[in-house]
Amino acid sequence: GGTFQVLSGTTDGFLSITNGTFKIIGTNSFSNPVFNVASYTIPSSGGFELSNPNATVEGQNGSVDNNGELKITDGIFNVGIVAGNSSVTNNNGTFILSGGVMNVARRFVLSNADGTFSGGTLNISSVGHASSTQASFQCSLTSDLTISGNPLITISQPNSSGTPYNDIEILNGSGIKTITGGTFLL
């Protein structure tokens, strides 16, 4: 089986990345929050890879701040459980989605980062998003973005800000944006 027992329970996370890449690979079935705090950071010298079709990283009441590498090739990766919880890749961090599913409670942001989507599914705003300054899918001027192949990016709920704002914003600037495939679904 694939049960993690940490301290006295199977629902407690255990991981804090300070350096190196933690990988969940293979085919054992399990479901666990993995990270030991609700809002966690992947540092510039660290990474996290989910490549197990039977694994689920459970969401917590917090956000992901990715400054290193977050890579999903298979399995289910959940970020957050309430509207304030987001996934932000920044500070030259890298986000790669080539398979599997990532569910984000609020918004997905690339800020001075590198994002590559070649497969899989990204579900954003599953709980909701309300911002008059940022979209549900936000890519900054300085970020590199590549969307190719067959990824599906779904905005589950529209931006409900009192001052209307976009659901998708990909800003043109010094970052290279290449979109040759994929589907955005609103």
pLDDT given for residue 6 in this prediction:
59
The structure tokens 């479901």 sit at: 31
Per-residue confidence (pLDDT) for residue 83, from 0 to 100: 87
DSSP letters for 84-112: T--EEEETT-EEEEEEEEEEESS-EEEES
**pLDDT digit string, tens, across residues 83-137:** 889 999 999 999 999 999 999 999 999 999 999 999 999 999 999 988 888 899 9
Q: Name 7's Cβ contacts closer than 8 Å, sequence gap at least 6.
A: none
- pLDDT of 168 reads 94
> Which residues of the chain fall short of a pLDDT of 50?
1
Secondary structure class of 53 (helix, strand, coil) = strand
